[in-house]
Amino acid sequence: MSILSGKNILLGITAGIAAYKTASLVRLFVKSGAHVKVVMTPASKDFITPLTLSTLSKNPVYSSFVNEDDDNAVWNSHVDLGLWADLFVIAPATANTLSKMANGGCDNLLLTTYLSAKCPVYFAPAMDLDMYKHQSTLHTFKVLNSYGNIMVPATSGELASGLVGEGRMAEPEDIVSFIENDILQKLPLKGKKVLITAGPTHEAIDPVRFIGNHSSGKMGFEIAKASANLGAEVILITGPTHQKIQHSLIQVIPVISASDMYNEVHKYFENSDIAILSAAVADYKPKEAASQKIKKNETTLTIELEKTKDILASLGAIKKNQFLVGFALETNDELENAKDKLKRKNLNLIVLNSLNDTGAGFKSDTNKVTFIDDEYTVTVFQLKSKADVANDLLNKILEQINA
């Protein structure tokens, strides 16, 4: 999954021959999981049709303040478009449009939207060699950069005039890659390695039966996604679960038993910056697992259990500079038990949730949690989606490691 997944991208198209490439650019944005809307200058419609872009983006294309073809004229609000966008990408960006952007010109919908946008703005210049090298254009680039806009550098190649040189718009694949890399470089967990455990473990009784629990793994998977979206390289070690995730920054390692999880966690912990152990690991396992299916011969069956290795405590005992987070699922004396676990296992933070709270715990898409840090500061949250809980957790971790 791309870092652009789920983002609202507004693509601004101006009247340059490179506008024909924007069909591919829209498709790449959509393929990355982004939501795309297109705003065009009136003259750019001579180079590519709104119908093509509307079909590819699955959204109406905007080019004027009023949809004049409608029986009932509809106002296209540049303010709404600017507020909708998480990113505004202007490609191709002609010398004319760039000059107007630098000087506050707003004689079309694209330019008024630019002046209203609160999001990062990327622009990909496209013009002939002499125009690209002109002092006024170079000055425009400096002014736009001083405003915080981000330039996707033009490349060298054959230009529409027949000249060969700088001024050719970057290829759509390169524009997407540039934006992804730029976003990643600015994310707060860029360069950090985050180790996460998720799901239950299954402890074999015989080849067909096991001891397990009701954990779905949803919480751990949401934490992995939130970590990757902040730029972290994520190792997600997960017990048996139906959860799926695809992200270029997430490596998924499936395991079955508590012993498997212990071994995999210890492979990666030393090189991790943050470890978040949200898995519901079995506390006990059968002392001996039968090699053949146990037959139903007796009225009762006795299985001798032994403790599994305590993964969280083992990491707390060896941690150096790692930030270690544990989870506590309690049914009584919740705060006292969580604080005790925080201290005994040498954690930096513990996430407490109670089975007494409706909508919290296993299987649900929601959770109600309390954070307790190593200074015993307690932060209580209301019921939220597990995705929101994951974001709250990452914000809390960032707050503590940057303190």
Q: Would you state the pLDDT for residue 401?
A: 92
Q: Would you state the pLDDT for residue 72?
A: 64
Q: Would you state the pLDDT for residue 69?
A: 62
Q: Would you state the pLDDT for residue 71?
A: 61
Helix 109-116 to helix 95-103 angle, to the nearest 10 degrees? 40
Q: Would you state the pLDDT for residue 73?
A: 66
pTM of the shown model: 0.82
Q: What sign does the dihedral 363-367-368-369 (CA atoms) show?
A: positive
Active-site annotation, residues: 213
DSSP 77: -
Q: Which residues pair with 251 in a beta bridge?
A: 235
Label residue 285 exposed, middle or buried (CB < 10 Å: 0-12, 13-18, 19+): buried
Alpha helices (H) in 170-229, listed in sequence order: 172-186, 218-229
Tokens for 208, please give them: 């067909």
Q: Would you state the pLDDT for residue 391?
A: 96
In order of their start, the domains of the chain are 8-186 (3.40.50.1950), 193-401 (3.40.50.10300)
What are the 10-residue block averages of pLDDT along the chain, 403 residues in total? 89 96 97 96 96 96 78 77 96 97 94 96 93 95 97 85 80 96 93 97 95 93 95 97 91 97 98 97 94 87 94 97 93 89 97 77 82 95 93 96 85
Q: Would you state the pLDDT for residue 91?
A: 97
